[in-house]
Amino acid sequence: MLTVRCLNQQDLPSLLFLERKSFVSSWVEQQLANQLDHSRGLSLGCFDEDLKGFVLISTVLDEAEVLQIAVDPERQGEGLARTLLDTAIVYLKAKGVNRLMLEVRESNMAAVSLYRSYGFVEDGLRKGYYPSSQNDGAREDALLFSYRF
């Protein structure tokens, strides 16, 4: 059975493993540990026996930013990212947040499609923000999105 809950320090090894499996440029272990303890952070995990997806969010006053969202490549396309976002939005609304922001690789069409289906609006571009996923020294643009509750 699929469950979503807040992540804690006991989840750090699983979070670290999935984060490294999901991103070209991963965070160091201490950054993830700090996020799990951050008083203005929201760290949710989607579990089916073990960690299958996560979202890491930072909040400041009435705004929040998705720092990372990832789903195990073997489970992508099953709606886990949507489940994580649904849960995060309910939590953020209850905390008085009214705007959620994020950035995404321009080439990540599955994520771009998901965000647009929620009503996220593309409102910026960061040229050459991400290192290429091909490790060829090239850079990839980041699309900036925001969503008002």
Architecture of domain 3-148: 3-Layer(aba) Sandwich (3.40)
From CA 69, how far away is CA 110, in angstroms rounded? 13
pTM: 0.90
The more confident residue out of 129 and 82 is: 82
Catalytic residue, candidates 19, 74, 78, 103:
103
- Nearest CA to 36 out of 23, 45, 25 is that of 45
From CA 47, how far away is CA 6, in angstroms rounded? 11
From CA 143, how far away is CA 115, in angstroms rounded? 11
- Could you report the per-residue pLDDT of 10-48, keeping only the tens digit for each? 999 999 999 988 887 777 888 899 899 888 899 999 999
From CA 93, how far away is CA 17, in angstroms rounded? 30
What is the pLDDT, as a whole number, of residue 1?
Answer: 83
- Nearest CA to 85 out of 107, 98, 100 is that of 100
Mean per-residue pLDDT for 77-101? 95
Would you call 115 a catalytic residue per the annotation? yes
Mean per-residue pLDDT for 1-7? 92
What is the pLDDT, as a whole number, of residue 43?
Answer: 95
Residue 49 banded pLDDT, cuts 50, 70, 90: confident
Round the average pLDDT of the chain to a whole number and report it.
91
Catalytic residue, candidates 19, 106, 115, 118:
115
Would you call 103 a catalytic residue per the annotation? yes
123 has a pLDDT exceeding 70: yes
- Sorted by sequence, the CB contacts under 8 Å of residue 27 that are 6+ apart come out as 19, 35, 68
What is the pLDDT, as a whole number, of residue 133?
Answer: 67
Residue 90 banded pLDDT, cuts 50, 70, 90: very high
Distance of CA 91 to the CA centre of its chain: 15
From CA 104, how far away is CA 111, in angstroms rounded? 7
